[in-house]
Structure 1
Amino acid sequence: MRISTQAASQAALSDLMRAQREAYDARQQLASGKKAPDLKGYANSAETIIAAKAAQKRSESFVGANERVLNRLEIQDLAYQELSTAATDLRTALTTNDGSFMMDKVQEVFDRASAALNMRFNGSFVFGGRRTDAVPFTADTIADLQAAVPDVSATFQNAADRQTTKIEETITIDVNATASEVGTELMASIERIADFNAGPDGPFDGQITENQQAFLETELANIISAFDTINVAMAENGARQKQLEGSITGHEKRSDYLEIMVAGIEDADMAEAATRFQQAQTAVQVSAQTFSRLSQISLLNYL
């Protein structure tokens, strides 16, 4: 009788401990919302969780980096608009019959174009290519263009290579064209106009002469070419903006999908956890009462 009672007590104690453990696990799930407190609790799914979270972090990193680049492209677009407008204004100035204020307009175009070519974003020159810490266009005046040796190309100090950025694991794009790529033609035209103005057929003052008209008609073709170069680069910048927007959307969707996938593995069913907790609590009470009664049984009760 005594041996049987001891075995029953041990069984009741085991039931009590199991019920307490189940109650604790259920309570932890209710508190954390997770099925397990650490990766060990997910067994074979642990590797999937680790890989998914790493991929999600990479996607979130790409989103942040691409958004910064997209902000820069918006600044670049403003610079391209300024350059395009400057080229348009110069072309308009060369079609007049009165040259009285032509060089004033040329000076204005130079100033606007210079500022655009040296535009910055977060302290970096956007037209500097890989060299973002140095002024890409160094001429301060039209006279500097005229004095440049061997030509105006000497006033461009940007890097030869464009700056690039990685927007996907396997996709790298150019961030922008360089100052020399988009500005050389326009600045060369300004330099030729200034040279002509200072030459034997100048200056442009009052009614345009035949020689001046012939020169301006030739130079108009160069300005149109400069305008086209700027607008092509501006279109490329717009295409990069669209590409980046698509990349950001893709990374955000990928991150959301991975978050849902991980949640499907990690997150506890709160309704189920609450039910199990109530059942476990009941089991703890019953097991405790059973163990308590068995612990009090003695042969003396039967003598």
Structure 2
Amino acid sequence: MALRVTPGMIQGQLMRNINHNLTRMQGQQNDLSTGRKLNKPSDDPVGITYSLRYRSELSMNEQFDKNIAQAKSQLEHTDTVVGQLNDIVQRVQELSVQALNGTNPQSALDAIAVEVSQIYEQAITIGNDQLNGKYIFNGQKTDKIPFDAATAGTNAAEEPDDQLIQVRFAAGVTVPINVKAEDLFGSNGDADNLFKVLKDIKNALTPAGNMANLQTAYQNLSTRYDKIINLRSEVGARVNRVDLIDQRLQDLNFNLTSLQSKTEDTDMAETIMKYNQEEAVYQASLSTGAKIISPTLIDYLR
């Protein structure tokens, strides 16, 4: 039996088609206005999983970027401070050699002792150096002053904390951003403890120059100087490693951003072309519909 097609059926189908064309045009228009082809999960159920993964990794890398900035700041500051310590130790070596030549009157030795005493105070200041209100040579106890001028280098003094501050830059990748005070200045009671050596040099110069004690102290100072140089090289190596990690992280961020863009962002030229096509189809459907629904009841009564 033949199906009777009524005007109501024609008009209903026409409206459905027009709405469908309008929905498709609106979809292209939405992509153009947002610049994205992935605006909701239903747009690409598979792509949304990749998109969320890229966003998660970029978010973690953003925190790693902050960690790198913190590490660079502290390591570069530490390198500067160790360099200052290196300079004053060199100065004490020069003064010790000058005092050991055996031709100095006691007044000259006294003057050298005064300068060494001032250098000792400067060494204490360096040992108690702070960055952002935190002591850099007291391990993880950054809120506690590590050295006291009266007891530094003696067994009566409390040893600074020897824990390293490890900063994470990636999964399983950590780098210490501080140095141990015992590695830089020596442990309390060590023969080459910097503070003890400076006191020994001063004591060997006054009240009467004791060249034998001065020679021993000078040898201990040379041993400590070599350790300071080695530690400064280690700090420099850490800075270089952080720079390499930073470069790798920037490359990774660039790759992730590119992949995210390919997954989420729309091709503007292609979207504009599709929008124009959908607009033309929509306008054509309106024009066709106007002809289909133009007959009225009067037309059927003629």
Q: Which TM class, normalised by the smaller chain length?
A: 0.7 to 0.9
The answer to whether the 8 A contact 1:70-1:244 is kept is yes
Segment of structure 1 superposing worse, 101-110 or 219-228:
101-110
Aligned position for 1:134: 144
User: Where does the alignment leave 5 or more consecutive residues of structure 1 unmatched?
Assistant: none
Is 1:186 the equivalent of 2:194? Answer: yes
Query: The residue matched to 1:128 in structure 2 has which SS?
Result: coil
Aligned position for 1:228: 226
The answer to whether the 8 A contact 1:156-1:179 is kept is no
Following the alignment from structure 2 to structure 1, what is the Cα–Cα distance between the partners of residues 218 and 160? 27
Q: CA RMSD in A?
A: 2.0
Amino acid at match of 1:190: L
Following the alignment from structure 1 to structure 2, what is the Cα–Cα distance between the partners of residues 122 and 27? 51
The answer to whether the 8 A contact 2:74-2:178 is kept is no
Amino acid at match of 1:127: F
**What's the % identity of the aligned pairs?**
19
Following the alignment from structure 1 to structure 2, what is the Cα–Cα distance between the partners of residues 292 and 19? 15
Aligned position for 1:76: 78
User: Where does the alignment leave 5 or more consecutive residues of structure 2 unmatched?
Assistant: 187-192
Segment of structure 1 superposing worse, 249-258 or 292-301:
292-301
How far apart are residue 157 of structure 1 and its match?
4.5
Following the alignment from structure 1 to structure 2, what is the Cα–Cα distance between the partners of residues 286 and 229? 85
How far apart are residue 170 of structure 1 and its match?
0.6
Query: How many positions carry a matched residue from both structures?
Result: 285
Q: Deviations over 1:116-150 (max 9, x none)?
A: 111111111111101111111122xxxx14xx7xx
Segment of structure 1 superposing worse, 259-268 or 161-170:
161-170
Is 1:125 the equivalent of 2:129? Answer: no
Amino acid at match of 2:35: G
Aligned position for 2:274: 276
The one of 193, 203, 207 aligned to 1:203: 207
Evaluate the alpha carbon distance shift between residue 236 and residue 269 of structure 1 in structure 2; reply closer, same or farther with a 3 A threshold.
same
How far apart are residue 36 of structure 1 and its match?
3.1
Evaluate the alpha carbon distance shift between residue 246 and residue 126 of structure 1 in structure 2; reply closer, same or farther with a 3 A threshold.
same
How far apart are residue 299 of structure 1 and its match?
6.9
4+ long deviations beyond 4 Å: none
Amino acid at match of 1:192: D
Aligned position for 2:211: 213
How far apart are residue 169 of structure 1 and its match?
1.4
How far apart are residue 4 of structure 1 and its match?
5.0
How far apart are residue 228 of structure 1 and its match?
1.1
How far apart are residue 15 of structure 1 and its match?
2.1
Query: The residue matched to 1:127 in structure 2 has which SS?
Result: coil
Following the alignment from structure 1 to structure 2, what is the Cα–Cα distance between the partners of residues 82 and 173? 23
Amino acid at match of 1:40: S
Q: Deviations over 1:135-190 (max 9, x none)?
A: 11122xxxx14xx7xx6254354213222221221112221212233113211101
Evaluate the alpha carbon distance shift between residue 22 and residue 42 of structure 1 in structure 2; reply closer, same or farther with a 3 A threshold.
same
The answer to whether the 8 A contact 2:200-2:213 is kept is no
Amino acid at match of 1:81: G
Amino acid at match of 1:216: L
TM-score with structure 2 setting the length: 0.87
Q: Deviations over 1:219-274 (max 9, x none)?
A: 21100111111111111111110011111111111111111101101111111111
Q: Deviations over 1:32-66 (max 9, x none)?
A: 10003223322111111111110111112101111
TM-score with structure 1 setting the length: 0.87
Following the alignment from structure 2 to structure 1, what is the Cα–Cα distance between the partners of residues 179 and 42? 51
Q: Deviations over 1:3-52 (max 9, x none)?
A: 25444333322221121111111111111100032233221111111111
The answer to whether the 8 A contact 2:204-2:211 is kept is no
